[in-house]
Structure formats: C-alpha cells, structure tokens
A = this chain, B = another copy of it.
C-alpha cells in the first residue's frame, strides 16, 4: 500500500510549484499587456486629434454613458480600450456587419479593441454538445470577424480576440462572480438581463448569472469601455453599479441602436432565406435581397435602408475615405448619396424606389463580401474549422426518449433564437441551436436578425 503521508508531501510540492508558476504567468501576462500598450502608441489613429477620435467613436451610436471616463482614459493613454462580446453559437450572418462597422471605426480611431468570443455562454446554452465543438465555433468566429474587418479596409493590429473560457473559469474570476452574486439581488439580476436573456416562465438560473459575468468581464478584460446594442443597457447599468462595490472601477458604455434586419419584419426562422450568411454566393445574396422587406415610401423598420445607414455608408467612408452610396436607375441619372438623410427623403418621396435600391444594396453588399469569400476559399484552415464547427447533420435519427429525462428542474423549453443587431446572439433555444451532430443545420436556420427595437 502506498504511504498516504508521502503522497501528501508530493501533492504539497506540486501545489507549491503550480502556485509559483501561476505567479510567473501573471507577471508574464502583465508584461505582455504592457508591451502591447506600448506598441499602440503609434499605429492607426495616431494622426487623429482626441476630438476627432471621439467623434469617430461616437458615429451612429444611440447612447453614450459616462463619456468623461473615455475622455480621461484617452488623455492618459492616448487611446481607448474597448470590449465587445459575442456568444459563439450560430453562424455569423450579415447582421454582424452592424457591430463590426462600429468596431472598424473604433480601430480606425486608434482604439485597442478586445472581442470576447463568449464560448462559455455558447457551451452553457448547448449542454449536450461537447466543449470542443464550441471551441471550433469560437475559432470560426475569429476567422469571420477578422475577414469582415479586413473587408472594410481597417488595420487590425490593435484587435485582440479573447476566449471567454481562457479566464472566466479561473478561481479569482469565480470568487469575484460569487462576490457579485452576494451583493446583487435576484430581482436586479433578472431586470438587468430582461432585454438580453430570453424571459420565460421557467427560465434557467444561468440567465441570472449571465449579466454578472458580462459586468465582470469589463474588469478582467481590462478595458475602459464596453460596447453593445442598446438592448444591453440594463446590463451596463448593473455593471456601473456593482463593479465599484467590489473594488473595481466603473467603465463607460457605448450603445448601438437596434437596427432592423435586412429582411425587415416579414421573415420567419424556418425560412432558409431569412438571413444572409457572410459566405453566401453573389447569386444567393441577390435572391435573398429580392425577398427583403422594403415597402415603397416607408423608412421606418426598413431593413434595407438601415443596412445602408449602418453598414454601407460607414463602410464606404472607411474603404474610400468618404461615405458614398450610388444607386443606378434604369431610365435616369444615378443617385449619389453621401448621407442617409438625403436618401431617406428621396425614399419617402418615391424618388428612390425599392426596385432601384435593392440591386444597389445587392451590388454593394457583394462587393463587401467578395474579399471575405476569397479569403475563405484561400484558407484551408478556415474551411476545416467550418466543417468542425458546423458539421453537416447525419441521416435522420429520432430520439424522442430524451425528452422524458428532463424532469422537474429543467427550465422551460420555449426559447427563441435571436441575433441582436449588435451581434450578440441571445436567448438561444437548445433545440434549435443544438451543436450536436444531429442539428447543425437547424442551428443555422434558427438564427435570425432581431427586428424593430430601434
């Protein structure tokens, strides 16, 4: 029989060594951070004045909380550290261009942008899937987001991807999460997630933990600002309130408006044409946009016009140096726009008609997607990740028995899948976005762009 005392000594030695290495690791990470910050002193945005930087950062935003925090950080560091999080679940579609354009502007303004690939959430929402699959998805997101940013011609050397699981399971993070849970009421956590986490009668507890983690991420990602859709407002308010209570500083918050989806209010989740994948062919884009909801003279909830406002015009500014959107017409001179106001006026007055607008948007979008697709075709690695992240469904296999096992404690089943206009994918329905081998395709179908909350 082995000697327990000897084993205990062995354990003590190993534990001590791990502790030492963890101190070294912390030190190395701090040095890396320092080194990165130093390299950011030059680079994109360096030629801009603080005022110009702030103006570019604020373009198209609906709301800015605590701009004084940004002003101060900008003065001190010369640049801002911004974080945006996205759960790595379904395939990114063209709705992702909306937050991506803001991120492109942040980068152009010299910000150090950290994109949180929230794999923990992806895993949490997909309990039946192995963690490995979600990691592939995070990789797929990284490839896609990088390509989308390159497509709008923005330098990405100040872009950093951080995998949620790389720090969200560490003991210091967990301890802080528990501390937050002890000073945050159930009601406050519920309220904070009300517009982000799907509200059902039998909601899972994880939905209440979610906002606390998102708040804590601001501290652990070491940023000045968190960016998200205006639907995140209550989570941002929670973060502002609770971080100082556990000894961390309050951050600024930037919010995009809720932008209607390209197809407007007329699509359904079961319609395969209801979203445009960023890897769709030019023909597919054309076909899907033909179906898009863009009634004549109506500007409100018009997803096609909104796409021009929040994606194509700012993309033009980044790619060509100034915003410009050209609409060819059959029997008249082309319409050339440099701002959305004139476009909306023309649309209301039926000068700009849907029949002319849609082909123009189709062309512009295909121009944006072309380099993305080219990069995908050229990258064996990305292609392999795609297959691993979204495996094709095998032959039909019913497994009706599984349902019975859920029992009394299983949270409600009726959860809709939504990709918010800021790119967050929320309220994921396990059945629809199951990442298991059987429902990879379902997961894709289930992903729709959130509409009409602007």
Contacts and interface: CB of A to CB of B under 8 A. Distances in A.
Interface of A: 1-4, 7-8, 10-11, 14-15, 17-18, 21-22, 24-25, 28-29, 31-32, 34-36, 38-39, 120, 124-125, 127, 169-171, 174-175, 178-190, 202-209, 212, 238, 241-242, 245-246, 405-412
Contacts of A409: 183-185, 188, 238, 241-242, 245
A445 to B, nearest CB: 22
Contacts of A187: 202
Nearest to A205: B181
- The secondary-structure label for the interface of chain A is helix
Contacts of A245: 405-407, 409-410
B170 A182 contact: no
Contacts of A408: 188, 241
Nearest to A7: B32
- Interface pairs A-B: 9 shortest CB-CB: A169-B171, A181-B206, A182-B206, A185-B411, A188-B409, A181-B205, A7-B32, A124-B182, A2-B35
A51 B38 CA distance: 72
A174 B165 CA distance: 11
A151 B209 CA distance: 44
A186 B169 contact: no
A205 B179 contact: no
B183 A411 contact: yes
B39 A14 contact: no
Contacts of A169: 171, 174-175
B182 A204 contact: yes
A171 B173 CA distance: 10
Contact of A25 (B11, B204, B412): B11
Contacts of A412: 185
Given A179-B124, A188-B408, A21 B18 contact: yes
A288 to B, nearest CB: 33
A372 to B, nearest CB: 27
A24 to B, nearest CB: 6
A39 B4 contact: yes
A204 B184 CA distance: 5
Given A14-B21, A187-B202, 18 more contacts: A3-B35, A4-B35, A11-B32, A14-B24, A124-B182, A171-B174, A174-B174, A185-B204, A185-B410, A185-B411, A186-B203, A186-B207, A186-B411, A188-B409, A241-B407, A241-B409, A245-B406, A245-B407
A207 B408 CA distance: 20
A35 B186 contact: no
Contact of A4 (B1, B36, B174, B186): B36
Contact of A185 (B2, B184, B189, B203): B203
18 contacts: A8-B32, A11-B29, A14-B21, A14-B28, A127-B246, A169-B175, A178-B206, A180-B205, A183-B411, A185-B202, A185-B409, A185-B412, A186-B190, A186-B207, A189-B205, A205-B208, A209-B209, A241-B409
Nearest to A209: B181
Given A11-B32, A175-B169, A38 B1 contact: yes
Contacts of A182: 124-125, 127, 204-206, 411
A185 to B, nearest CB: 4
A243 to B, nearest CB: 11
Interface centre among A7, A15, A25, A38 (most CB of B within 10 A): A7
Given A7-B31, A11-B28, A181 B204 contact: yes
Contacts of A407: 241, 245
A331 to B, nearest CB: 58
A186 B372 CA distance: 42
Contacts of A246: 127
A18 B18 CA distance: 6
